[in-house]
Amino acid sequence: MLNKNTNIENSGEEQTVQIAETINNITQESPENKYDSYLTEVIYLLSKKPRIKKNNEFEIPKIYRTEDKIPYNNVITYKHKIDAYQYYFVVIDEILNSLNQDLLDSKDTILGYINDQYIDVISKIQNPDKLSNMELIKQNADYILQKVECLLLNDIKSMSKSTRLTVEGIKSAIPKIIVHAFIVCEILEKPPNDYVIK
């Protein structure tokens, strides 16, 4: 059950927390009231994707706050999806945990596969000005999120031909999964512990 007036926080180390119906003084309907039946099937299909890399290449700070991560990474146009779909965090986490009981390591496989796609997208961004990785990410954060979303959408569409999934259902589920991956630090970077929004 969701508690009201609780901030979203995650250590980036697979620790889940409760989130609120009221976040940043905006109250929205709980996802329990608008459960997306396609989420489970899309997540299951993602568990079939192979990992490219086994180890995370980025540092994991002790704590971070999602509301810090958005400006730290300079997310602008994708912010509306994060604001809207962060309320699915608990629902998606419960699906991942349930699937993980039946398919060992499926949660790590799914989140790791999304992280692999993220790293692959970054590696293909042109960098003629020799920017640092963080500056490159800040200049391309919205593109990165959209590109990873597009890659997952195409993956699931190609895998779903023998399922009951519709294109509309896939398009509804994928952004929610991307936002979950953002919250648990598999996409974009974690702000340092002393980060202050300017």
Query: Both tokens of residue 138?
Result: 């800040």
Cut 0.85: pTM above it: no
More confident residue, 118 or 50: 118
> What pLDDT score does 104 carry?
82
Domain boundaries, the chain: 39-53+60-183
Position 107: which residue type? K
105: nearest Cα among 34, 161, 177, 49: 49
Q: At 39, is the pLDDT very low, low, confident or very high (cuts 50, 70, 90)?
A: confident
